[in-house]
Homo-oligomer: A and B are copies of this chain.
Amino acid sequence: MTITALAGGVGGSKLLVGLQNALVPGELTAVVNTADDATMYGVHVSPDVDIVTYWLCGLADTERGWGLRDDTFNVVAGFARLGQEVWFSLGDADLATCLFRTQRMADGVSLSAVTDEVRRALGVETRIMPMSDDAVRTRVVTEDGRTLEFQEYFVKEHQEPAVKEVRFAGIGDAKPAPGVIEAIRDADRVILCPSNPVVSLGPILMLSGVRDALREHNDVIAVSPIVRGRAVKGPADKMLHVLGAEVSASGVAGLYRDFCTTFVVDETDIEEAALIEQLGMKTVALDTIMRDLPASDRLARSLLEL
């Protein structure tokens, strides 16, 4: 069964690991958000793409969520010693990936091609596609009137400022990366991981042709990233209002109602099922909290059995 999964960072990675474990090599494709990419310390960081890659090759620091296990942080410490601001933490081996990407892209290689080089070098059998080879950059407009780069909001300001608006610079001109539309269209099933609907899946869905391809697909499952009215991880619950959505599983379901055929809520949110069914989607309640790898495996297998 071929699966194409749309994903952001940690929540997406956990489900992708479960799906990869449950499927035959080659059956899984991940389309990953790149709108939180940035240039840090002169290198192109692609946080979601790297998190997904590291989780899928088994080298991720699963405690921290991002970066590589047993990494050191001496490049960033070196920058600090040179008097530079270092609010963005980046491990040394992790930086090697970013530096390699930066070099390859300076040589004219596309982000999707270098992403494929990295995942192959690390032995990942799942295809990993950045959503676009074109630069899309998330900007967060705060209630106090500032426009922050996404990593400034997310890392430097710890997701604390109240969010008024989220913009995606470049989204109008960005094309899906080569193969993204086909990966959606040709998959037996498309799965939207429990990633942030605003800043992770949002930009993927805004790319021209993506939403149309999903609408034309007859098997699209989305897993709610909101459980008991809270984001399982990250700031989704502080952002959903910018899309006019309620902070609830059904609020998220409403965002996907035009293409989602099955919506998965956490079993603790089963009382929302009837409401979501009214939006025209089949609704299933599962244990969606991926507290460890066996839990990811169980959720993945359940999604494949639907």
- Residue numbers of A with Cβ under 8 A of B are 41-43, 68, 71-72, 74-79, 81-84, 91-97, 99-100, 102-103, 106, 117-118, 121-122
Judging by beta carbons under 8 Å apart, are A42 and B122 in contact? no
Judging by beta carbons under 8 Å apart, are A75 and B95 in contact? yes
Q: How far does the alpha carbon of A79 sit from the alpha carbon of B121 in the complex, in Å? A: 10
Identify A78's interface contact among B41, B74, B82, B94, CB under 8 A: B94
Kindly list the 4 A-B residue pairs having the minimum CB-CB distance in the complex, ordered from nearest: A78-B96, A74-B92, A78-B93, A42-B103
Judging by beta carbons under 8 Å apart, are A82 and B97 in contact? yes
Identify A82's interface contact among B75, B102, B121, CB under 8 A: B121
Judging by beta carbons under 8 Å apart, are B41 and A121 in contact? no
* Set of chain B residues within 8 Å of A42, measured between Cβ atoms: 99-100, 102-103, 106
Judging by beta carbons under 8 Å apart, are B103 and A74 in contact? no
A274 to chain B, nearest CB (A): 50
* Set of chain B residues within 8 Å of A103, measured between Cβ atoms: 41-42
Judging by beta carbons under 8 Å apart, are A82 and B41 in contact? no
Secondary structure class of chain A's binding surface, majority of residues: helix
Q: How far does the alpha carbon of A82 sit from the alpha carbon of B122 in the complex, in Å? A: 7
Q: A42-B102, A42-B106, A43-B99 are in contact. Are A92 and B121 (CB under 8 A)?
A: no
Whose C-beta in chain B lies nearest to the C-beta of A104? B42
A46 to chain B, nearest CB (A): 14
Identify A74's interface contact among B43, B82, B91, B106, CB under 8 A: B91
Identify A96's interface contact among B71, B79, B121, B122, CB under 8 A: B79
Judging by beta carbons under 8 Å apart, are A93 and B74 in contact? yes
Q: How far does the alpha carbon of A92 sit from the alpha carbon of B81 in the complex, in Å? A: 13
* Set of chain B residues within 8 Å of A77, measured between Cβ atoms: 93, 96
Q: How far does the alpha carbon of A68 sit from the alpha carbon of B77 in the complex, in Å? A: 12
Q: A75-B99, A92-B75 are in contact. Are A81 and B121 (CB under 8 A)?
A: yes
A113 to chain B, nearest CB (A): 14
* Set of chain B residues within 8 Å of A74, measured between Cβ atoms: 71-72, 74, 91-93, 96
Q: A72-B92, A75-B93, A92-B75 are in contact. Are A83 and B121 (CB under 8 A)?
A: yes
Judging by beta carbons under 8 Å apart, are A118 and B82 in contact? yes
A107 to chain B, nearest CB (A): 10
Q: How far does the alpha carbon of A92 sit from the alpha carbon of B92 in the complex, in Å? A: 7
